[in-house]
Amino acid sequence: MGLLAVISGRLRAYILSEEGRELTLYRLFERDICLFSASCMMQSIQFDITIEAEKDTELWVIPTEIYKDVMNRSAALANYTSQLMATRFSEVMWLIEQIMWKRQDKRLADFLLNESKLENTTVLKITHDRIASHLGTMREVVTRMLRYLQSEGMVRVSRGTVELTDLDKLRKLAEED
């Protein structure tokens, strides 16, 4: 495919399990690049990653060979690439830590708060299934957790919509130890 450079819009990078469950690894925004989309960019890393546009997106696809050639001739680009790889690796390690050690309700609260900030609204047009894809869990788990958050007055759930009704309580839940 090649290296993706986002001009505008938003992309989602995720992995897909053998059972068909998705897990969002990270998102790409304006002026981000995705090294993982460039096959053969990193010889030792062997996993499949899927990229999807979450919003209308304009991007460049830079052939891997061209990027590698320029990187070999530019210490600045090589340094930038190393820093970007370290950042993405840190994001994935943070995600693994969240999955392993953070309760589902806290992960969901954190996700909803982040989505609200990204979309600049407290009324999120998102399905339970879509939330589950981001969190790497099953829709039924998300539904159960949303019912709990609704019973606590933190959200109001309707078909295809989650309204954040008490941001302070959601933040407290997300930040709880």
What are the tens digits of pLDDT across the range 110-148? Answer: 999 999 999 999 999 999 999 999 999 999 999 999 999
Cut 0.85: pTM above it: no
CA angle 121/97/115 to nearest 5° reads 5
Rounded CA-CA distance 25/37 in Å is 13
Rounded CA-CA distance 77/62 in Å is 14
Alpha-helical (H) ranges within 3-120 are 64-73, 75-101, 104-119
Do the domains at 3-101 and 104-175 have one common CATH topology? Answer: no
Fold for domain 3-101? Answer: Jelly Rolls (2.60.120)
What are the tens digits of pLDDT across the range 86-95? Answer: 888 898 898 8
85: confidence class by pLDDT, cuts 50, 70, 90: confident
**104-175 placed in CATH 1.10.10.10:** yes
Rounded CA-CA distance 175/170 in Å is 9
What are the tens digits of pLDDT across the range 12-50? Answer: 999 998 888 899 999 999 999 887 776 556 666 667 889
Domain ranges of the chain: 3-101, 104-175
Q: What does the DSSP 8-state code read for residue 45?
A: -
Rounded CA-CA distance 9/58 in Å is 6
